[in-house]
Structure formats: C-alpha cells, structure tokens
Chain A
Amino acid sequence: MKRFWCFFFMFWPIVAFVLCWIAPDMGWWFPSNGPTGMKAASPIGERIDDLYYMILYITTATFVGTQVALGYVLFKGAAMTDEGNEQKVWYSHGSHNLEVIWTIVPACILLFIALYQMDVVKEVRVKSAFPAETKGGTVAIAEVTARQFEWRIRYPGIGPDGKKLPLMPKPQPTDLYTVNDLRVPTGEPSMIILQSGDVQHAFFLPELRVKQDAVPGLDIPVWFEASKSGDYTLLCAELCGWGHYKMKAKLVAQPEADHMEFMRQLTVQQNYDGVPEATNEVAQGEE
C-alpha cells in the first residue's frame, strides 16, 4: 500500500503532461465558434494565444517537476520502512541553499514571463505602438458607446468624394449610426473610440481576444484586426446591471468594398425621407 501513493502521485503529472500536449490542438480553452474556429481571429490574438500556451507549458513543467520530486521523496521514504532496513529516522532543520534556489528560480521565471509579454501588451495598449493605419491612435473608424444595455455606434459619414470622412470627437450632421452592429473592413487594423454612456462596461471580442473596460468620462482607443470576414460576437464583460446578460452585439468584418457599400446603404437609410423613389417627379431640393 505504501508504494501505491508514490504511483498515485506520479500518475497526475502524466495526465497533466498529456493534457498540456494536446490542449492547443483541441481548442478547449478559447472561444471557438467564430469564423476562424479554434484559431484566434486576429494576428495579435494569435500572439496572445501563444503567450497563454507558453505560460501553460511553464506551469505544466513546474507541476511535473514538483510532482516528480514528491514521488522521489515518497519512494525513498517507503524504502526506509522496508523489512530489514536498519536506517533510522533523521531530522532536518532546513537548507539555506535549497531555499535560495526555490526563491530565485521562480522569480526568474516570473521575470521572464513579465518581460516576454511586454511587446504584445505594448502593441495592444500603447498608442505609439498602434499599427500604422491608426496613425498612432488618432484615426478611428467609429465611436462605440456602451450603455445599459446596448452598444451604440457612430461612424463618420461619406464625403462628396465618396471616401469616408474623418471621425470627429463631436457628432456631425453627416455621421451615421447603428446599434449593436459594428462593421469593420477585414484584414486591416481598425481603431474604435470606446466610451460609456452610464456605468462601467467592457468591450469584449472573445474571438479576437480583445477586452477593454469602458470607463465613464474616458475616450479609450481600442484597435483590432479581423483576419477573416464574418460575424463575430461583441459582449459586455463587466457586470453592468441587471441587463448585463443581454448586452450583446455583433461585429461584422467585411471586405473593404462590401464595407463601403454598407456605409453607402446606411447613408441612404439614414437620409430616408419617406417618399418612395417612384414618386420623385415632384422632387425638389437635395439628392
């Protein structure tokens, strides 16, 4: 029986090792219902996943190491009580060297993790490291306002030259509006300005690995890049009130041409004056 425990404690590191080995291929730990399946739907998201897996490998290695050490000690101890073994019990009063080692080694590992992920964090959060398309976090595609319990979105309108106007900090007569429907072009970084209309919310695109709190009174730039066209989920990830559960929207990534077509459609819809096209003979004024 006494050796049973050695094997019992040796069994778990094997399980952990196997799980860790197959985890990335099984896609257990990441949202996997978007257009890209198990893979993150944005380039930076893939790098975030890599960071996650690196930490998983480090923790698995640590777990296996400590379990093996435990098994070794148990096995040795079990051998001492075997029949005919004359060895006596001995007491230890700690080992300064050992303690230094098990302080320094984890500290180095943690320091390594902290330094290793800095590049990614910088690209996600620090404006000066934002992709060139956002011009250092100054050019946004839309203003997203979180409010209880919906996402209101303001896009800049389309100018006379058929191109998008810049998004101004204050609403403009040409602006276009949608609710719960954020549209971005596929395959290029897009930046939004995140605001809150009331309490704290969080802008969460699970498939793109984007999560940013919306704080009342702050304009927070958030950028992301959808690598594949399709519908993604946009959720609120901060408990914001009784209707938090229903604060769900969609992010639609479309090819550039389709995206512009959507914007043109939206312009037409938003300027709709209730007069059916066929009866336009009396038309006067604009358009």
Chain B
Amino acid sequence: MIRHVLLFTGYELKKTFSNPIWPLFSILQPVLYLLMFAPLLKSLTPGGTTAEALRMFTPASMMMIAVFGSLFSGFGLIADLRNGSLERHAVSPAWRPALVLGRVARDMATLVVQAVLVLVVAVLMGVRIGVAELLLLLLLMAATGLFASSLSQGLALTVRDENGMSQTLNLFMLPVMLLAGLFIPISFAPGWMQAVAPVNPLYHAVEAGRALFAGRLSDSSIPISFAVFIALAALTTMWSMRSLRRIAG
C-alpha cells in the first residue's frame, strides 16, 4: 500500500519536474504579489511601512499558493482519464487509492518547495519569523494543500471535463478569496462580511498565518485553523478516494 503511494508520488513528481518551467510559473505568482502588491498596502497598515505590509501580506500569499496552487492539480487527472492511463493503472495490482494519493502527495511536496522559495523572498525583503512559528506555518500549509489537492482530484473525477472543472473552480474561488481577507484584512470589511467570513475555512488559515508571523503563538486562530483544515482534508481525501470507484468498480 505505502509502497504504491510512494511509487506514484515519485512518478508524478518526476513528471512535474521533467519540465520545471510550470512549477516555477506557479511560484512566480505569489512572489509577484509580494513584490508588487505589498507596497500598495503600505498605507493600509498600522505602521505604514513596507515591512509591516509584508508581515500582513506574506502569510496571505503563503495560503494562496497552498490553496490555489493545489486546486488546479485535478486537471492532470482529467487528462489521464481521457488518455486511459488512469484506467490502465486501475487494472494493475496497484492499491487503487494510491492513484489519487500519489498525486496529492506530489502536490504537498511541490507546495513545500514553493513555500520555502516564497519565504526566502519574504525574508530578503525584511520579514522575520521564529522557528516554531515557521514549522507550524508549514504544517498548516500542508493541511491546507492536502485539502485543496484532494478536493481538486475528487472534483476532477466527478466533473470529468476541463470546461466544467474550470467553471466550477472559478465560481468558488473569488468569494473564497475575498472573504478570507487575503489582500486586505477582514477587519477593514463592513459588518456583514465580518459576520460571514468565519464560515470560510480559508479565513481561519489566513488569520492563523498572520498570528504566526506576528509571533502570537497562543492566538486562538491557530488551533481553530488546524482543526478546520485537518477535518476538511480528511473529508476531501476520503471523497477523492471514493470518487475513484466511478471509473473502477
């Protein structure tokens, strides 16, 4: 079982990094946000300095790659449904959940590499974070990535069509992004948005990320976000594994 998951993880990673241009592109986005968006936020932050703005925005950009980077990975699965390779693997001695779990594990590994690269840029720009906070942040990103990636695999196996998949993702992405306070903290938002935001799981992750960068290890948002994302990740992972039955009884 574990052997097959590792086998598929390695295979998928090799596939991803055989053309390193694409994973590079996907980390470029958060880096560009750091470079070009954070300075814009200067006037909104209490201290009014770029460093302050970065401390608010870096955690948001980390969560952004965790969720949105992994949400699109299901497209690869649709391609493999179409070319028949998924079906081929289903008629092999491979433990079937490994077909999905290998992809999810690949996304999480990619995510760690991306997170480290973004952090290096942020540190170079003057952001500081403690070791314990850093580890917690990476763990939270991993849980978030696990949730997003397995959601994407499950969605791909259910929708099975690139157009339907991109429409579905677009429908949910914008409200989730805005209601998480990714760009501008929710505390600037009107009352009704502040009331709705806690329903959005990403809101908790962003809040926890900001608490970690601010060194507030006892902040309640940290355990809340971990609980929310571990539960969600467990659900979506189960779902993606079950969705595989649709292609293989």
A binds B: no
